[in-house]
Amino acid sequence: MLFRQNRALLFSLAIVLTSAAGCDDDRGGLTQTNPKIDGFAVGDTDTARPDLSPVEGGTIQVNFGKVDLETTRYKYLFLNNGGRGTLTVYQLSWADGSSPEMSAMCFAGGIYQACPDGQGQPLKVDPGQDLVLRLAYTPLELGADQASFILYSDADDNPQLVVELRGEGVRSIKVCISQCTGDQSSSQCSSAPVVCSDEADNLTADFGEADVGQQVRRRVWVHNLSDEDQQIGTFRFGPGDYNQFELDTMGNQLPGVLPVGQTAEVEIIYRPMVGGEHNTTLMVVSENTGKEIDLGLTGRALAPRVCPDPMAVDFGNVAAGETKTESFKITNCGLRELTIFDLQMNPSSSPDFSLVNTPALPLVLQPAESVDVQVQYAPPSDGSDAGGVDIYSDDPISNPSNHFTGTVSLQGRSVVRACDIQATPYAVNFGGVVVGGTQTVDVIVSNQGTDTCTLTSVEITRNTAQNEFAIVEAPPANSTFAPSDTLLVKVSYSPADLGQDTGILSLFGTDKDTNEIKVDLNGMGTEASVCDLQVTPTSQNYGLVKVNNTKSATVVLTNRGQAACSITSLQLKQSLMAPGDIQITSAPPVPFTLDRMGTPNSSAQIEVTFAPTHPGSHKSYLWINTNDPDLQLGGWDCMINGGGQINPGQACVPLSGSADEGTIAAVPSDLDFGVVTVGCASPELRVTIYNLGGIPINISRIYIDPSSSPFSFTSAPMTPYQLNGGASVELRLRYVPVSAAADRATLYIESDASNTQLLAIPLFGRGTTTDQQTDVFHQPNRVMSDVLFVVDNSGSMSEEQNALATNFSSFINYALSLDVDFQIGVITTEVNDPETNQGNPPRNIYPGVLVQAPGRPKIITNSTPDVPGSFADNVRVGTCCSDEQEAGLEAAWMALSPGYIDDPSKNGGFLREEAKLYIIIVSDEQDQSQGNPDFYVDFFSSIKGYRNTERMAVSAIVGDEPDGCGNGLAESGSRYIEVANRTGGIFQSICTSNWAQALQNLGIDAFAAIREFPLSRPADQSTITVTVDGSTVPKASCNDCDSCPDGWVYYPDTNTICFGANYVPGRGAVIEVDYEAVCVQP
């Protein structure tokens, strides 16, 4: 026993000694316990460490690659402590000559902070753990940069680790043009040097001079200089004279992806329609960096141009029988001399307008030269007049048959001169006046007419027996006063006894209607005075009001007593059950006083406005405190919500109302009529206007701007039009181009909707002179699918979220096996309020915005490390929210709408044009979205185009129809099921215990190749030929591509080509469809 104790003591001592010496015992053998830096990894994020590599030669090299100027690229350096002791890092020291554009931060205490400098506290890294450094490179100048630093530590193998950094500052994209003036095919441009945006600060393509209608083309090259594909998100004309220029992308998919090292070649066409100088810009923006390059475009159209200033002449008010002369200027803002052949009054003009001092015609104006045109307005009687001056010239926009160019509009208003005497107040009420006292009131005599008035005299023509009314002050007899001027009359009342007294004050003058204006005089002799406040109404119900609209009501306080009333406070108190969006919008500043009864200041108005921001019931209470000893107004609800007894001198006015939304939306959000032969009409396109709320929307106007555009309505409701809650109305439009050019306009709907009062729908179209058309389509090299999961995050969804996360591999395995290029995002059914720190792990939830768990991407792709784990973290969104409104359809609409889908901080980058869209909704409740399912079917179908029925589908994992799970665990999701059925999606029961199979069913359908392609113009099907990679594809033996696998089928109703099962184009295939476009007669 003693031997064993001594042996244990010796062994313990040995452990102490070996530990002190940096040794350890591992299964009886002694090994070093010193820390080591024996492995490293470099990654683009710090969320997942790449595989470790050994540190060789004590040096690590990190290459940032090519980085756009003034942007920052991060690299994350993982240094693994492979030893058995704690690693201590003492200092990071930069080498002389290191580029200041490179920096390093160390991760410690949960944040990135300055690395140790040898003076402060060192960093500690436990055995087996990583020291993470965030390396940053922000190039400010073009060219290569390098830096290096030494990391000092107590590592046994690399105590002085050298890290070498290098990178190159570049401009990711540059735009180049030939340094010349004129057409690209001219001798000057064909031999001119090329100048690029990285060489010139204000790069401008000068098209030179051109005749109206002449076409001048210039070549533009867009280069990707970076080491990554560039997403060119904006490639369009800027403000200015953009409608004088056209863009020919020459088959390049811009906007779109510009691969590494590639150049896109496009042409800008200058085809001026009017004379003068024209300037705009071509805007090129890379979404990778957010940098914008503006290429200036300038050209000069050699033609005259009429520029009137102003375009409308307003003569204002002119007295009948008088004349007024105004002028406008006609300037030749073109570049060739302008001939004005004639100036004439428009045939519809009022005869009260006439041209005077007309210049000798015809008149020739040189460029920039002007002439003044005078117009006289001589109205003989009162009323409003309108007219115009027609200009006839050789401006190219003029009518070629009669040279009519345009009209300068005229308007004026004539008034008859007259004297109009008014007295304010028109009746004087002195109220109660204590017997023996005197009260004085001012009567303002004003001239409201258009001619001078004469006040002949002022008299009291009826008085009491005691002459208790008297004139204290009056203007001299026969006083004159001009329009808008005033005179003052002071009248007093001195009651001699108790009771009511009346009289008449007469104003004699030259009024247009009468020579005597009578002002009633009223007063009451009283013994004493008290405040007696009347409140009307005693309650206010606003009725039903549209969300984001307002409705005001007035509470009137009137003093019916003979003493002043003091209002000491006005206060709004909210209902405990339904707090209201009600506020005081107008009231006298408190405290304020109301004078005795009958005096001008004896009443006050309190404007209280209901401005609901959300649907539902709203209630508030207006509390008034006064010195009226008998006032005690209000009921039990006032006492409950006001917090106590209503005391003498208090009044409580209940204010209530209800609100509902009148949300206006349009599907589709824009209309592209494609290419149409000049003189022919496009097929009719429809846009449906929906009211998603439960209260009517009043549409006041529907119009196209500019009205002269070649877009027109074939069907539209007459305005004003009431669009009831949940209803929709369809507009149909067509496009009839008049020239081979691009046309743009905007369809506007004005209304009193809750969300917007001016809904804008862009219209696009392009005219062409050829009937032959070739449409080229590209089957992606990889099947592309964007999958949006909409997950209910209400209180009952924990089990379903876990099942979805656990069985996700059943969904994704099919896609991974086929190398599908997928993007997967998750949103919740929350549409009202953001929530913080929700889910597992905690994250913030924003309505309609893709969810991102800590350390996980919000868009999961093939290249995401640990795809199942990333999805599992993202989809466990928690069960805090959306119980008030579980609105999966509305949430998906928000997520895929402009303002969300194009915002990089929200969902930008998720929706790809060439990818199939698949929406999967998971909920155990009925959908509570605003609006009918019709709207959501319409909206979702419009995203990929109504013809592309196979490129979008909505599927639902929800409760069965009609009773849900039947055990109270899930309601029927009938609205979700309806949308799934109508979009070709799949319904899976949330009641299932086999989630793996349910998700596998969804997964197989979610990833499928594109087999139906829309044609850009209505086709003559007898002329259609189809090739895939140059090989002709036969026409199918029947008219249904699902039934006939042996070729292609043309569907006239959707104007699409569909491939049968045996001829679906393979990955990367090029599909060409040649045909002759049908001319639809206007």
* Interhelix angle 798-806/867-875, nearest 10 degrees: 170
pLDDT of 657 over the 80 cut: yes
- Residue indicated by tokens 């913030």: 844
Residue 111: the pLDDT is 84
Residue 17: the pLDDT is 29
What is the tally of helices (H) and strands (E) in the chain?
A: 10, 75
List, for residues 836-856, the tens digit of each pLDDT value: 888 888 888 899 999 998 989
List, for residues 692-716, the tens digit of each pLDDT value: 888 899 999 999 999 999 999 999 9
The identity of residue 203, as a single letter, is L
Distance (Å, whole) CA 740 – CA 676: 9
Give the percent of the chain with pLDDT over 70: 93
Distance (Å, whole) CA 193 – CA 621: 78
List, for residues 264-304, the tens digit of each pLDDT value: 999 999 999 888 899 999 989 888 777 888 999 999 999 99
28 Rama class: left (phi>0) / alpha (psi -120 to 50) / beta: left
pLDDT interval class at 780 (50, 70, 90):
confident
Distance (Å, whole) CA 1082 – CA 122: 81
The model's pTM is: 0.47
Average pLDDT, the chain: 87
Residue 524: the pLDDT is 85
Residue 31: the pLDDT is 41
Strand arrangement of the beta sheet that strand 292-301 belongs to: 204-210, 292-301, 276-286, 230-237, 256-258
- Distance of CA 955 to CAs 143, 877, 888, 972, Å? 52, 20, 12, 15
Distance (Å, whole) CA 150 – CA 771: 70
Residue 20: the pLDDT is 36
Residue 465: the pLDDT is 94
- The two tokens of residue 629 are 């000893």
Residue 1003: the pLDDT is 58
Residue 579: the pLDDT is 84
Distance (Å, whole) CA 637 – CA 625: 18
CB neighbours of 648 closer than 8 A, spacing ≥ 6?
A: 629, 630, 631, 632
Residue 12: the pLDDT is 31
Higher pLDDT, 238 or 469: 469
pLDDT interval class at 795 (50, 70, 90):
low
Could you tell me if 43 and 78 are in contact, meaning their C-beta atoms sit under 8 angstroms apart? yes
Average confidence (pLDDT) over 133-151: 93
Residue 1016: the pLDDT is 84
| 10-14, 917-921, 1029-1033, range with the lowest pLDDT | 10-14
Tell me the sheet residues that pair with 665.
690
Residue 728: the pLDDT is 92
Residue 614: the pLDDT is 83
DSSP string, 928-965: --SS-HHHHHHHHHHHH-TT-GGGEEEEEEEBPTTTTT
Residue 994: the pLDDT is 67
Average confidence (pLDDT) over 412-440: 87
pLDDT of 26 over the 50 cut: no
For residue 19, the surrounding DSSP H or E stretch is: helix 2-20
Residue 404: the pLDDT is 94
List, for residues 58-102, the tens digit of each pLDDT value: 999 999 998 888 888 899 999 999 888 899 999 999 999 999 999
Residue 670: the pLDDT is 86
Higher pLDDT, 358 or 916: 358
List, for residues 908-955, the tens digit of each pLDDT value: 899 988 788 999 998 888 888 888 899 999 899 888 876 566 778 898
> Which among 75, 80, 81 has a CA at the least distance from the CA of 61?
75
Residue 22: the pLDDT is 42
> Which among 1046, 1057, 1050 has a CA at the least distance from the CA of 1013?
1057
List, for residues 574-629, the tens digit of each pLDDT value: 888 788 899 999 999 999 999 987 777 899 999 999 999 888 889 999 999 999 98
List, for residues 186-220, the tens digit of each pLDDT value: 999 989 999 998 888 889 999 999 998 899 999 99
pLDDT interval class at 15 (50, 70, 90):
very low
List, for residues 543-560, the tens digit of each pLDDT value: 888 888 899 999 999 998
- Residue indicated by tokens 């020919």: 248
Tell me the sheet residues that pair with 388.
409
Could you tell me if 295 and 282 are in contact, meaning their C-beta atoms sit under 8 angstroms apart? yes
Residue 1074: the pLDDT is 94
> Which among 257, 268, 177, 266 has a CA at the least distance from the CA of 224?
257
Strands (E) in 435-563, as ranges, are 439-447, 453-462, 469-473, 479-481, 486-493, 499-509, 516-526, 533-536, 540-546, 551-559
pLDDT of 1049 over the 70 cut: yes
Average confidence (pLDDT) over 790-808: 74
Higher pLDDT, 999 or 919: 919
Distance (Å, whole) CA 37 – CA 546: 67
3-state helix, strand, coil in the chain (%, to 5): 10, 45, 45
Residue 243: the pLDDT is 86
- The two tokens of residue 280 are 């705009």
pLDDT of 1080 over the 90 cut: no
List, for residues 455-481, the tens digit of each pLDDT value: 999 999 999 999 999 999 999 999 999
pLDDT of 634 over the 80 cut: yes
Average confidence (pLDDT) over 2-16: 30
Higher pLDDT, 528 or 196: 196
pLDDT of 391 over the 50 cut: yes
Residue 13: the pLDDT is 28
Residue 964: the pLDDT is 79
